[in-house]
Amino acid sequence: MLFLARGRAGAGNTTQISEGLMEIDTLLMLLGVLGSLGAGLALGYLWRAGVGDSQHEELQAELAETRRQLESYQQRVTEHFGTTAELFNTVTAGYRAMYEHLAKGADDLCEDFPAERQLEAPPQRNLILEAESRPGLTGPKSGVEDDSDRGGPR
């Protein structure tokens, strides 16, 4: 009976106790969530500091090597096309000299050859100067003769 009397008399206390337990449960759950969040942030920071930095440095080194390779390739391409331009200018000068020799021989040897059937010299171009005038391209650094003073169009 005493228990029942206490139960009846303590009915308000029971409600207060259960409300207090619910507050403790909510507080413990909130502390668990905050603790898990803090632990996750700490582990993420430690992982990034340990693994992230080495991976970052590795990627930076790989990027620097790739840039070096690209610059080397660009230099080789520039040198290749500069040499190609020099060779074309040499071949063009040789063909021009042969053409002038043939034209002079035709003038000297074929006096009655009509003027309208004679070939005109093709326009002269300097590939190195044309390459140097383009943005981003440079000609070779060797001493190649400039043909622009001979009066031909570029």
| 144 touches 86 (CB < 8 A) | yes
- Predicted pLDDT at 53: 67
| 145 touches 138 (CB < 8 A) | no
- Is the pLDDT assigned to residue 131 strictly greater than 60? yes
- Predicted pLDDT at 107: 80
Instruction: Write out the two tokens for 146.
Output: 């400039």
Residue with the bigger pLDDT between 109 and 14: it is 109
Task: Specify the residue for token string 């400039």.
Answer: 146
Range 38-43 contact pairs with CB under 8 angstroms and sequence separation of 24 or more = none
Instruction: Specify the DSSP class assigned to residue 49.
Output: I
Q: pTM score, two decimals?
A: 0.42
Instruction: Specify the DSSP class assigned to residue 48.
Output: I
Residue with the bigger pLDDT between 9 and 47: it is 47
- Predicted pLDDT at 44: 82
Q: Which of 152, 96, 106, 97 is nearest to 126 (CA)?
A: 152
Question: Where does the chain have alpha helices with state H?
Answer: 2-9, 11-47, 53-109, 127-133
Q: Could you give the C-alpha distances from 97 to 11, 104, 109, 130, in angstroms and in order?
A: 122, 10, 18, 22
